[in-house]
Amino acid sequence: MGPGLRRFILIFIPYLWLLLFFLAPFLIVLKISLSDTVIAQPPYSPVLDLSRGIAGLREFFSGLDFESFVWLTEDSLYTNAFLSSLKIASISTILALLVAFPLAYGMARSSERWRSIFVMLVILPFWTSFLIRVYAWIGILRSEGFLNQFLLWSGVISEPLQIMNTPVAVYIGIVY
């Protein structure tokens, strides 16, 4: 086996993996989303009939229908949900960048001794379960939580803030 063939095989294997386990399911979901709904089990027309060869491919492409996507744009519920998600994602991205860049800059400029400690402090939360971190944030942000108790104790506020179930809590949870 020559070096060119070895290189081709080494490069081909990950592409084959991506094709089988990413692109193929993605295309199946795309086909299902473009299929006509039928009263059957499952509630859509068959995805692709490879046993029919070229005729099956022609039928596959002729059966594509954008009616479901047009319906999504006509219903204000879905449009508003999409725009709200886009707003949350944009604000969260900006907040994450505003937090991450100064931290990364500070870590890069710190001494070698402190840098490893800072890296450990950044990595440490990933060692805990996501669910545990969410419950910790609930404990911190609720009306009787640590944040409100600290703000009341320090005299910054006179009554507890309602932070839970607000966009601020969503942004804190996403950015963290």
pLDDT per residue as tens digits for the range 140-169: 999 999 999 999 999 999 999 999 999 999
Q: Could you tell me if 96 and 55 lie in one domain?
A: no
Q: Determine the average pLDDT of the residues in 96-115.
A: 94
Q: Could you tell me if 67 and 96 lie in one domain?
A: no
Say how many domains are in the chain.
Answer: 2
* Average pLDDT score, the chain: 86
Taking only the tens place, the pLDDT of each residue in 66-93 is: 777 787 788 899 899 999 999 999 999 9
Upper half-sphere CA count for residue 64 (Cβ side, 13 Å): 11
Q: Could you tell me if 143 and 105 lie in one domain?
A: yes
- Predicted local confidence at residue 129, as pLDDT: 87
Domain boundary among 30, 48, 71: 71
Q: In this predicted model, which residue has the larger pLDDT, 24 or 115?
A: 115
Q: What is the distance between the alpha carbons of residues 41 and 108, in angstroms, rounded to a whole number?
A: 57
Range of the domain at 27: 3-71
Q: Determine the average pLDDT of the residues in 105-134.
A: 91
Q: Could you tell me if 118 and 60 lie in one domain?
A: no
Token output for 123: 């990595």
Token output for 139: 């404990």
Domain boundary among 38, 71, 104: 71
- Predicted local confidence at residue 95, as pLDDT: 97
